[in-house]
Amino acid sequence: MKHEDKEIRTISEFLIRLDTHKSPDDLVWFRGQTNTNWPVVPSIFRKGSNPIDRENSYYRKFKQNAGRYVEAKTSTDWDWFLLMQHYDTPTRLLDWTESPLVGLYFAVEDDKENPENNSKDGVLYSLLPEELNRKFNRILVVKNDLPLIDSDKFLDEYLFFGKSPENFPSKPVAAIAQRNSPRIFAQQGVFVIYSNSDEPLERIADDCMWRYIIPSANKDSLRRELDLLGINRVSLFPELANLGKHIKESI
């Protein structure tokens, strides 16, 4: 890792540590995970075999059935791919955020689907996306000018639909996308696009990353601090169902 692991117990402590680790010119992305034991890989690689075949099947079934629910523009494969990612369908996209506090939220959130993770230490990863692209793809970019999904055509090489995997790039790439859905806008979402390798990012890009460990005992207090700053489930998932839950929990 680029920096030594540091524990954080409060938001103020986190911001002080972050300030010592990044220079003013650094573009830094963040990703929170509620369990330090999880590798940093996209969801499609976490379970089952034949991930590429499964992703193609997910794509076809999602596109077949999601149309009636979709309000945003979905005319390209990437539009559908991004929509799948934000509605919990496994893909090769790895979510990151430009906001350190949003990243921290996902490291300490109450994991209702897997409650055993609430007793595990959480982790917040920091990534230098420009360094990642230079390391793996030799992309020469203007400062803070990352490739844009559905605009920079070389990114289409990462789409598997109807193609042979042996022709794809072998390494991941950091990219931005249109924030044309409430979730991606609220979460300041950005992405690392994987190809056909399931190697964890922290293993192959450790010189572009560092992390903060959140002791399980501090998750509750950090959630309260984040809520005071307006970082909570209803602000990051701006949908009526989450608003109702948030009101019920706050009264």
Per-residue confidence (pLDDT) for residue 77, from 0 to 100: 87
Query: In this predicted model, which residue has the larger pLDDT, 97 or 161?
Result: 97
In the three-class reduction of DSSP (H, G, I as helix; E, B as strand; rest coil), residue 148 is classed as strand
| Reported pTM | 0.90
Residue for token digits 């350190």? 100
Least confident of 68-77, 143-152, 203-212: 68-77
Q: Provide the CA 78 distance to its chain's centre, in angstroms.
A: 16
Give the span between the Cα atoms of 56 and 159, in whole angstroms. 10
Per-residue confidence (pLDDT) for residue 216, from 0 to 100: 96
In the three-class reduction of DSSP (H, G, I as helix; E, B as strand; rest coil), residue 121 is classed as coil
Q: Is the pLDDT of residue 138 over 80?
A: no
> What average pLDDT does the chain have?
88
Inter-residue contact 171 to 195 (CB < 8 Å): yes
Report, as an integer, the average pLDDT of 230-243: 83
Domain range summary for the chain, segments of one domain joined by +: 6-250
Q: Is the pLDDT of residue 55 over 60?
A: yes
- Find the angle CA(107)-CA(144)-CA(181) to the nearest 5 degrees: 55
Report, as an integer, the average pLDDT of 59-83: 82
Per-residue confidence (pLDDT) for residue 223, from 0 to 100: 95
Residue 211 is classified by DSSP as: E
Binned at pLDDT 50, 70 and 90, residue 236 comes out as very high
Per-residue confidence (pLDDT) for residue 140, from 0 to 100: 62
Report, as an integer, the average pLDDT of 38-42: 94
Measured between alpha carbons, how far is residue 23 from residues 54, 105, 106, 193 in Å?
41, 23, 24, 25
Per-residue confidence (pLDDT) for residue 191, from 0 to 100: 96
In the three-class reduction of DSSP (H, G, I as helix; E, B as strand; rest coil), residue 229 is classed as coil
Inter-residue contact 96 to 190 (CB < 8 Å): yes
